[in-house]
Amino acid sequence: MQASTFSQTRKKNTVSKRAGAKQLKTGEFYFRIVFKPLLFILLLAPALWLAWGAYQDSLGANPVEAVIRGMGDWGLRILLLTLLISPLKRLLDWPRLLRLRRMLGLFAYFYVALHLLAYVWLDQYFDWNEIWLDVVERPFITVGVLAFVLLTPLALTSTKGMMRRLGKRWKRLHRLVYPISILAVLHFWWMVKLDISEPLVYSILLALLLGERLYRNVVRQG
């Protein structure tokens, strides 16, 4: 179960702010001025790094593959990081963390979109016929596309306005992130030729993240 929505968190924060604790104010200051911008730069760094490598021609013998894989890797990593936020918030008892979720989710989408763009442009050169055949013939591409298609409405409804407008349905919609993550990991499994060590690591991480939620649900109901 996801914890409170963004607006609820904000309400709580305003309430505690009104309580007048000066410490919280500096906490809020650091969160907004230091922590969040720093995280933003960190999340952008891999894209800049790949772009620089592409420009410098230092991505090895097959730069197109390096870019596609690099963007895919970071898309998946950040997607899982997004799922880490709410358990981490509970663990650290740090409600502000929830306010990172939208940025993380949008960054995941940013990388996946670049991943897709690199595939459509650099790998396939807009050969739509070939792309279509790929989608129907290669199972790992099929699930990748499915994951991307499902992720798109989440990115589009990530604004505060959308959150307000959709109300309860927003939460239900955004639970799609669970099947999306499973599809993304499956995409990786089906892509590898032989060495399953990387997708295995992601699978274990995802299992922990989903398992924690399942466990909490069961405990709460029981």
Partner 1 sequence: MLIRNNSEIKENQVTDYQDYQKRREFIKTAAGLGLAALSGSLIQPASAKILKSPYSTSEKLTDYEDITSYNNFYEFGTSKSDPKRYAKAMKTSPWTVSVEGHCEKPGKYNLEDLLKPLTVEERIYRFRCVEGWSMVIPWLGVPLADVIKRMKPTSRAKFVYFETLADPKQMRAIKHQILDWPYVEGLRMDEALHPLTILATGLYGKDLLNQNGAPLRLVVPWKYGFKSIKSIVKIRFVESQPMNTWRKSSQDEYGFYANVNPDVPHPRWSQRRERVIGSGFFSRKKKTRLFNGYEDQVASLYSGMDLGKNF
Which residues contribute to the site for partner 1 (CB under 8 A)? 54, 60-65, 122-125, 127, 130, 133-134, 137-140, 190-191, 193-195
Instruction: Output the smallest distance, CB 59 to partner 1, in A.
Output: 9
Binding mask 159-188 for ligand HEM (x = CB under 6 A): -------------------------x--xx
In the complex with partner 1, the residue whose CB is nearer, 19 or 194, is: 194
In 3-state terms, what secondary structure has residue 222? coil
Which positions ≥6 away from 101 have C-beta within 8 Å?
6, 82, 85, 86
Q: Does 79 bind ligand HEM (CB under 6 A)?
A: yes
- The full DSSP string for 177-212 is HHHHHHHHHHHHHHH-SS--HHHHHHHHHHHHHHHH
Interface region with ligand HEM, contact rule CB under 6 A, candidates 45-53, 63-71, 91-99, 213-221: 63-71
Size of the site for ligand HEM (CB under 6 A): 22
d(Cα 151, Cα 140) in Å, to the nearest integer?
A: 16
Instruction: Output the smallest distance, CB 129 to partner 1, in A.
Output: 10
**What number of other Cβ atoms are within 10 A of residue 115's Cβ?**
22
Q: Does 68 bind ligand HEM (CB under 6 A)?
A: yes
Instruction: Output the smallest distance, CB 63 to partner 1, in A.
Output: 6
Binding at 139: pick from partner 1, ligand HEM, none (beta carbon under 5-8 Å per type): partner 1
Instruction: Output the smallest distance, CB 154 to ligand HEM, in A.
Output: 10
Tell which one of 43, 76, 98, 100 touches ligand HEM (CB under 6 A): 76
d(Cα 115, Cα 113) in Å, to the nearest integer?
A: 5
d(Cα 207, Cα 46) in Å, to the nearest integer?
A: 25
d(Cα 172, Cα 167) in Å, to the nearest integer?
A: 9
Closest CA to 110 of 148, 56, 54: 148
Binding at 184: pick from partner 1, ligand HEM, none (beta carbon under 5-8 Å per type): ligand HEM
Backbone dihedral region of 2: left (phi > 0), alpha (psi from -120 to 50 degrees) or beta? beta
- Tell me which residues touch ligand HEM (CB under 6 A): 65, 68-69, 72-73, 75-76, 79, 112, 115-116, 119, 141, 144-145, 147-148, 151, 184, 187-188, 191
